[in-house]
Amino acid sequence: MTKNESGGTRSRADSTREKILNNAAACFLEDGYRDTRMMQIAARCGLSRAAIYKYFPTKEAILLALNARVVEDTLAVTRFILNSRQPALTVIEQWMRDLLSHDQPGFIRVVMIDDAQGVLMLDQEATDDALRKVKRALAKVIRRGIREGDIAPQTHPADTAHMLQALVFSIERNNLSSRPVIEMRDSRRQDLMIGTIIAGLRA
């Protein structure tokens, strides 16, 4: 097999894997993780059951792959936070807006559905590691904001980062629920909340 042919094969494999993940996410959201069957996912992809098993041996493997993608996306946000040289409050505001945007990927919604949580405990270490990295990145931005005079000097970086993370992820889970505890999907309310937080951090 030539190098080009090899590259083409990998590309087709990646495309098929992506198709399976996208269609599985749709099935999980429509019917719930527990009630979705591999045959159903295969049919939605236009694949045979044997073909889908070549990529994912179990439904659990698909869910864990979806969670791995969410972890990757979380770490991509972390890289944005670490690398951005915009004012600290601008970076924090953008981070909150990105996570609370209406256009949330289906993968994020999947890993938050209730009947998937038992399986996702198998991948808890990777998830926790990503959350720790985001917290450290936020704390670093907050410390820079204090040094540059944008954030109030009495702000405790680690505790504030933890609070911001807990608040945003709790609202994100609330917003993705079919029965939100508090209606926060409205952009006006999100703007008000984010503006209040930024005002509280400002020096």
Q: What is the pLDDT of residues 47-93, one digit of tens each?
A: 998 999 999 999 999 999 988 888 888 888 888 888 888 999 999 99
Mean pLDDT across the stretch 144-173? 92
Q: Which domains does the chain have, with CATH numbers?
A: 1-57 (1.10.10.60), 64-201 (1.10.357.10)
**What torsion, rounded to 10 degrees, do the Cα atoms 89, 91, 94, 96 define?**
-70
Model pLDDT, residue 4: 45
DSSP 104: -
Comparison of pLDDT for 70 and 112, the residue scoring more: 70
Which has more confidence, 89 or 129?
89
pLDDT on residue 115 = 76
Residue 146 has what pLDDT?
97
Cα end-to-end distance, the chain, whole Å? 62
CA atoms within 13 A on the CB side of 63: 28
Instruction: Please give the torsion angle defined by the CA atoms of residues 90, 93, 94 and 99, in that order, rounded to the nearest 10 degrees.
Output: 160
Q: Is 16 exposed, middle or buried (0-12, 13-18, 19+ CB in 10 A)?
A: middle
What's the length of the chain?
203
